[in-house]
Amino acid sequence: MTHDRFLLLTRFMHFADNGNPNSTDRIWKIRPFLSLVVGNFKRVFHPFQKIVIDESLILSKGRLIFKQYIPSKRHRFEVKLFVLCDCETGIVLDIIVYTGTDVDIPKEDQGSGLGFSGAVVKKMMAPYMGHGHILYTDNWYSSPTLAQFLHDNATGICGTVRESRKYMPKFNVPSTSYTIQREATNKILAVKWIDRKPVTLLSTVHKGDMVDRGKVHYRTKKKICKTDVVADYNENMRLVVKSDCQLSGTECMRKSFKWYHKIVLQLIDIIMLNSYNIWLMKTSDPTCKKLKFREFIYNVSYQLLEDYGTVTNSRLGRRGHPPVEAPDRLHGAAYISYHHLQYTAFNEDQNRKIN
């Protein structure tokens, strides 16, 4: 389509009735679409044992009341999404848009000690409580109070934690070793690991034993060993970052004056990524070469053109000239296939006569 037609279509792209606004919900313009997408995620796929929760950011420079200012990021002004992923397949299970209100994330009582970060975990993990899942978090979410809450609900946790958190044990350890310390309840394991810099972790599913990573140090030629907490955390915490990396090369994000367009386009990218991961899970064949994410998107687009694509009208030429036929890329897939070159068998006898 032409540039003007694309802008016209995006101008009238709405996902809610503007005549019935909801003043209590800051994302009421995309609430029906967001609820539909997240509901389908939960209906189609049930996660394996290990789950990870982290943030995903969308660049936003417009005037938006719930955009975040994060100076440590490359894009300092962004819309924050809380994302829950399955560690086995990388499929996104749940998404919450942070709006600064308690519409999506109910406030916790002060006596619970969970705080806002614990309320996010409690909200997103509500459908999976009591089923033996293991949740991986970073230090913004983790705390001894949250670990105790998840343990009481038959859910494990493993993640980094800040030493200044309430009820955290005090570590007195030199800078060339590691230490393991348990709380008096014998349910939560606190580990301080020092490699290049000190890292403190909490876990309710590990023992703190040293494990061989199967690697050798390039200089000392000694085996590299780590605690089971650190090794398991590094292996499973990378899924949200991996999803963002996959989307960054194929995202359909476009510049827009309307804030909800960017969130919707980000959701469409996540839908395609989930479809790709589910397709890989159902058609996994180690003998065949894995289809790349970009190729998968191209195949889906081409199949949609085959089913719904139609030949567009001829566009007008310059003034006083006849109409110009639309190029092949604007026609349906069946029309495009007529003009592709085809391979023909090589005839050696004819080649000799020509020479």
Global pTM value: 0.80
**Sorting pLDDT into bands at 50, 70 and 90, what band is 49?**
very high
* Average pLDDT score over residue span 52-63: 86
Lowest mean pLDDT among 87-91, 153-157, 242-246: 242-246
Render 89-102 in DSSP notation, one character per residue. Answer: T--EEEEEE--SSS
| Six token digits for residue 234 | 């590094």
Mean of pLDDT over the chain: 81
Contact 22, 43 (CB under 8 A): no
Q: Regarding predicted confidence, which is higher, 225 or 156?
A: 156
Instruction: Tell me whether residue 93 is exposed, middle or buried, using C-beta atoms within 10 angstroms of its C-beta: 0 to 12, 13 to 18, 19 or more.
Output: buried
